[in-house]
Amino acid sequence: MLDRDQLSSLVRLIATTRPDEIGCDECLEEVDRFVEMKLAGLDASEAMPLVQDHLDKCRDCREEFEALSRALRAVEGS
């Protein structure tokens, strides 16, 4: 059974669902481009709004995005 916070989170996610959403597989296929755009100072959110939307909602994909971002920044800093 869901507690009050879990139910509230689920309702919020349902309310913000888009008809053109992408899933984790599609997001992860594009996340490298998304990260590279961000690191180049480009507006990746505007260029790839479905990826941004998915990252806003999916903790697992957001963690992948953040790990890739850290790794690429470390390589660039070397």
Domain assignments of the chain as residue spans, ordered by start: 21-77
From first to last of the 78 residues of the chain, give the pLDDT tens digit: 889 988 887 777 776 666 788 999 999 999 999 999 999 999 999 999 999 999 999 999 999 999 999 999 999 876
Which of these, 47, 23, 25, lies nearest to 35 by C-alpha position? 47
Q: Is the dihedral of CA 48, 51, 57, 61 positive or negative?
A: negative
pTM summary value = 0.75
What is the secondary structure of 58-71 as a DSSP string?
-HHHHHHHHHHHHH
Distance CA 67, CA 73 (A): 10
